[in-house]
């Protein structure tokens, strides 16, 4: 047992340091935590004095001073263990100790004192450049009884056996509070700093660390627990653990600027290396947050985190209007375009006498079913953490749905007619009026299926809503926001329905010609979906066929009769264009190109002639958290930042990023110093799901950035497609110190 007396001025200096430190400076540990000192009597003639030094701190060799009380006990001359040389800003060239140091001190005790007090003085610093004042401790030392000068041989043997037994006995386990020392501090008005000091021989589970902030006016921002050492645990499987120390920052999303006291609950669990595990531990700490001054800038947030914050802060009406606007903007993305011919085909299939009201009703049924299905599956994904987007992108699902569109297309070509059996049509007719003939139900079913198969890609609003639902469990607000976004995405479809009755002719040969046109469009939708599961060269051939064959029907290679109407010439010109582009696609695939939008890329262009073929980025593929950790460690050793791209073959926005953003010269120049990693989650395996869950991602596309400290810089996250200029603007300040 040792008694510690802490100098009052040391305490005063330590607790006043945060008042003068800049908000972004590291939090200093208390001196007793940074330098743990203890004394142990090895025998009646020797005492070991040891210091356990926290990571990032060191002690000066020249600053050790030891004296004993009372005067009857004296200390002999002792030697210092080897030390490291350091050029110190305060004292010049000095010898220092890191991690730990033990001094073996002889004890001269002629009066056979059973105990004495050891006065210890020492001084150390933090690597951050802040030095502590000299520390003085008084340690109580109990000396074992000295052996008599002439001991009985049997007694010596007995004592030896007792000592041998004691040497094999395992020391008692430390109390949980000593084995896992937890500290928390307010780093600045928008950031908390958490720190664990772990005793030697003990470790902490990364997966068991959970944080809960008890506050109505703020919430925890996106934080990342540092990577630990991989370990296969008999109880928990593959885990990551920490020895010695763990520390990280946690951002706060504050809605008010006034000072506030908050309560933070921290849960964690650890074990001793010998195989004994402690039960889960929980600590609740009270933290006083200072007011946000005009000079204080809130921690930068990613786009999805800003959306999460708005859901917490805004009124219900404002949130719903905001997400309706998000949906209208998303309706302009390529992921929604395939729904246009689907709905148009449904309206055209009603015949020549369809009214505006009936067309709008069909569109409304389609859009409402799309939004409702999208909402239900979005809420389920948020609550249960499943990647339903990937579930409905399985090859057999895509193949089945594409087959339906091919069947619909051939029906429009007149090869056959798709009708319900007679007895079903009779029952539907009996239960309907002249405006409701069962087609509303069909439109709704088609809309529900479309939302799953050709629905929107992951974007920041979707990610924000799902993160909000997952964290709060508020399915009412989160689900309402998703519904409004889905409804907003269907706005163009409602416009089609509202105008269909006026734009479509009532009778004539035009209706006979429009069906094959929509048949070709349906085939285009089928190919658009098959592009996710079929090889790129085969897709180039199929796109060429879709252009060349209809071009023949448009008389692209037949001479025009004389005289010919303007419409006849227009259709022939369109057929010639389709034929030419189809032939170009065939030439391109024969040259090894796979992009149908740029079939001759790198072959006839001037850039190719100059040896500047336009290519994208080259990524290192990873498949697991362990591989990611290895790559982050290697990049950290080389002082390189890391970009991690989440990709899938069925992700349209991912392919847009590859084709347009990652081929931009400025983007490639900006990312030249980055280690570029890519996680292909096409197969949606258990490892893929673990990677997505690790970073709380709904699915691809998502791009994450890591600093040289291996920590993700969450404010730079990219969710969804971004064009080159937007992407560059978002990461322009990466690597600079945040305000």
Q: Which tens digits make up the pLDDT trace of 89-103?
A: 767 788 899 988 989
Best-predicted range by mean pLDDT (298-302, 392-396, 674-678, 715-719): 674-678
Q: Which tens digits make up the pLDDT trace of 118-148?
A: 889 999 998 877 888 889 888 888 887 665 5
Mean pLDDT of 408-416: 70
CA distance 635 to 367: 47
Helix (H) or strand (E) holding 42: strand 35-43
pLDDT, mean over the chain: 76
For 136, which DSSP code?
E
Lowest mean pLDDT across 174-188, 293-307, 719-733: 293-307
Q: Which tens digits make up the pLDDT trace of 71-94?
A: 788 888 888 888 888 887 767 788
In this prediction, residue 382 carries a pLDDT of: 63
pLDDT above 90 coverage of the chain, percent? 9
In this prediction, residue 612 carries a pLDDT of: 44
pLDDT(2) > 50: no
CA distance 466 to 463: 5
Q: Which tens digits make up the pLDDT trace of 659-670?
A: 889 988 899 999
Please identify which residue in the block is written with the tokens 């009066």: 111
pLDDT(335) > 90: no
CA 440 → CA 33, 183, 343, 425, 594, distances in Å? 71, 62, 12, 14, 40
pLDDT(551) > 70: yes
pLDDT(233) > 80: no
In this prediction, residue 424 carries a pLDDT of: 47
In this prediction, residue 163 carries a pLDDT of: 52
pLDDT(168) > 60: no
pLDDT(518) > 80: no
**Domains, in order of start, for the chain:** 8-148 (2.60.40.1250), 176-299 (2.60.40.1250), 308-511 (no CATH), 535-610 (no CATH), 620-730 (3.40.30.10)
Backbone angles phi, psi at 409, to 5 degrees: -65, -45
CA distance 328 to 42: 77
pLDDT(239) > 60: yes
- Residue 137, Cα to own-chain centre: how many angstroms? 47
In this prediction, residue 455 carries a pLDDT of: 52
Mean pLDDT of 176-181: 87
pLDDT(13) > 60: no
pLDDT(643) > 90: yes
For 63, which DSSP code?
G
CA distance 661 to 667: 7
Tell me if 458 sits within 8 A of 701, measured CB to CB.
yes
Please identify which residue in the block is written with the tokens 């079929």: 534
pLDDT(294) > 70: no
Confidence of residue 252 (pLDDT cuts 50, 70, 90): confident
Is the pTM higher than 0.85?
no
Mean pLDDT of 449-472: 64
pLDDT(153) > 70: no
Mode of pairing for the β-strands spanning 260-268 and 202-205: unpaired
Please identify which residue in the block is written with the tokens 């020249």: 62
């Amino acid at each position: 047992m040792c008694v510690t007396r802490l100098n009052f001025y040391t305490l005063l200096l330590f607790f006043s340091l945060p008042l003068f430190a800049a908000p972004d400076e590291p939090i200093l540990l208390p001196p007793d935590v940074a330098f743990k000192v203890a004394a142990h009597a090895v025998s009646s003639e020797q005492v070991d004095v040891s210091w356990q030094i926290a990571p990032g701190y060191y002690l000066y060799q020249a600053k050790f001073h030891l004296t004993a009380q009372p005067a009857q006990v004296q200390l002999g001359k002792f030697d210092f263990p080897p030390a490291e040389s350091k050029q110190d800003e305060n004292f010049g060239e000095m010898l220092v100790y890191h991690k730990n140091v033990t001094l073996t001190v002889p004890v001269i005790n002629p009066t056979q004192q059973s105990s004495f007090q050891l006065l210890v003085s020492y001084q150390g610093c933090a690597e951050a450049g802040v030095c502590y004042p000299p520390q003085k401790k008084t340690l109580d030392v109990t000396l074992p009884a000295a052996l008599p000068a002439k001991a009985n041989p049997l007694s010596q043997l007995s004592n030896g056996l007792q000592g041998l037994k004691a040497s094999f006995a395992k020391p008692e386990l430390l109390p949980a509070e000593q084995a896992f020392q937890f500290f928390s501090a307010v780093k600045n008005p928008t950031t908390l700093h958490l720190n664990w000091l772990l005793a030697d021989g003990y470790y902490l589970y990364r997966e068991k660390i959970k944080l809960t902030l008890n506050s109505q006016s703020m919430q925890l921002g996106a934080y990342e627990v540092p990577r630990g050492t991989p370990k296969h645990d008999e109880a928990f499987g593959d885990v990551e653990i920490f020895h010695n120390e763990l520390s990280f920052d946690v951002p706060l999303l504050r809605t008010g600027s006034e000072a506030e006291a908050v309560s933070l609950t921290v849960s964690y669990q650890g074990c001793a290396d010998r195989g004994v595990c402690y039960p889960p531990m929980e600590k609740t700490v009270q933290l006083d947050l200072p007011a946000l001054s005009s000079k204080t800038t809130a921690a930068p947030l990613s786009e999805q985190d800003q959306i999460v914050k708005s859901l917490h802060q805004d009124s219900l009406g404002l949130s719903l209007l905001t997400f309706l606007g998000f949906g209208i903007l998303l309706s302009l993305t390529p992921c929604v375009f395939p729904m246009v011919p689907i709905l148009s085909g449904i309206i055209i299939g009603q015949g020549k006498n369809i009214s505006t009201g009936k067309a709008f009703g069909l569109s409304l049924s389609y859009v409402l079913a799309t939004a409702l299905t999208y909402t239900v599956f979005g809420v389920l994904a948020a609550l249960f953490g499943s990647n339903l987007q990937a579930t409905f992108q399985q090859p057999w699902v895509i193949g089945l749905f594409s087959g339906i569109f091919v069947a619909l297309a051939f029906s429009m070509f007149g090869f056959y007619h798709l009708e319900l059996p007679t007895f079903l049509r009779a029952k539907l007719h009996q239960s309907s009026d002249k405006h409701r003939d069962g087609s509303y139900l069909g439109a709704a079913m088609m809309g529900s299926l479309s939302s799953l198969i050709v629905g929107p890609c992951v974007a920041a609003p979707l990610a924000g809503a799902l993160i909000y639902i997952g964290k709060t469990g508020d399915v009412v607000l989160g689900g309402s926001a998703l519904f409004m976004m889905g409804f907003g995405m269907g706005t163009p479809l409602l416009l089609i329905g509202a105008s269909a009755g006026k734009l479509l002719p009532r009778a004539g040969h035009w209706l006979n010609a429009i069906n094959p046109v929509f048949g070709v469009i349906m085939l285009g939708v089928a190919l658009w979906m098959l592009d996710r599961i079929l090889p790129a060269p085969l897709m180039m051939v199929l796109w060429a066929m879709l252009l060349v064959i209809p071009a023949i029907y448009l008389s692209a290679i037949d001479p025009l009769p004389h005289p010919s109407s303007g419409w006849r010439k227009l259709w022939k010109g369109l057929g010639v264009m389709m034929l030419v582009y189809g032939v170009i696609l065939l030439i391109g695939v024969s040259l090894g190109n796979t992009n149908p939008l740029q079939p001759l890329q790198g072959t006839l262009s001037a850039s190719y002639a100059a040896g500047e073929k336009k290519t994208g980025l080259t990524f290192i593929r990873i498949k697991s958290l362990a591989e990611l950790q290895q790559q982050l460690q290697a990049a950290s050793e080389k002082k390189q930042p890391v970009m991690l791209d989440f990709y899938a073959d069925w992700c349209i926005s991912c392919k847009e990023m590859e084709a347009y953003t990652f081929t931009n010269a400025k983007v490639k120049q900006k990312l030249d110093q980055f280690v570029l990693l890519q996680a292909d989650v096409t197969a949606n395996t258990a490892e893929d799901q673990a990677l997505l869950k690790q970073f709380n991602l709904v699915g691809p596309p998502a791009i994450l950035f890591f600093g040289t400290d291996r920590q993700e810089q969450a404010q730079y996250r990219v969710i969804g497609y971004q064009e080159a200029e937007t992407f560059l603007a978002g990461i322009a300040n990466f690597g600079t110190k945040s305000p």
